[in-house]
């Protein structure tokens, strides 16, 4: 599945505009701390969303971490053995 398909699956509508970022594939991750929760504003339609902007908060059980790569670039990673993203949102 490509990025556009994932967007449509998650938001329930076509991509309004395309954006590009330069991503680095990390060789190593540095743990910054334990992930407690992630919060984001989104207009998702699936997973109980009604297509209007809302703030979604997902609490993490222990075992999820916030990390950066070895270069310290402007990317963070939330990693853990049970984290997945589905139509409903981030699940742990």
Average pLDDT of the chain to the nearest whole number = 83
- Are 82 and 61 contacting, i.e. CB atoms less than 8 angstroms apart? yes
pLDDT one-digit tens code per residue, 36-64: 998 988 877 765 567 778 888 888 877 89
Rounded mean pLDDT, 66-90: 84
What number is the average pLDDT over the span 88-92? 74
**46 vs 86: CA distance, rounded Å:** 9
Count of domains observed in the chain: 1
Q: Which domain holds residue 9?
A: 3-15+23-91
CA distance 34 to 79: 10
Residues 6+ apart with CB under 8 A from 25: none
Q: What is the tens place of the pLDDT at every residue in 3-14?
A: 888 888 777 788
What mean pLDDT comes out for the span 9-32?
Answer: 85
Per-residue buried b or exposed e for 38-67, using 16+ beta carbons within 10 Å of the residue's own CB: beeeeebbeeebeeeeeebebebeeebbbb
The reported pTM is 0.70
Q: Does residue 85 or residue 76 have the better pLDDT?
A: 76
3-state secondary structure of 4: helix
């Amino acid at each position: 599945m490509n990025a556009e398909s994932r967007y449509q699956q998650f938001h329930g509508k076509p991509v309004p505009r395309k954006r590009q970022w330069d991503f680095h594939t990390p060789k190593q991750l540095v743990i910054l701390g334990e992930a407690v929760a992630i919060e984001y504003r989104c207009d998702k339609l699936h997973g109980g969303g009604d297509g209007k902007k809302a703030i979604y908060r997902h609490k993490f059980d222990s075992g999820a971490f916030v990390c950066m790569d070895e270069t310290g670039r402007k990317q963070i990673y939330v990693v853990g053995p049970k984290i997945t993203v589905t139509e409903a949102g981030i699940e742990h």
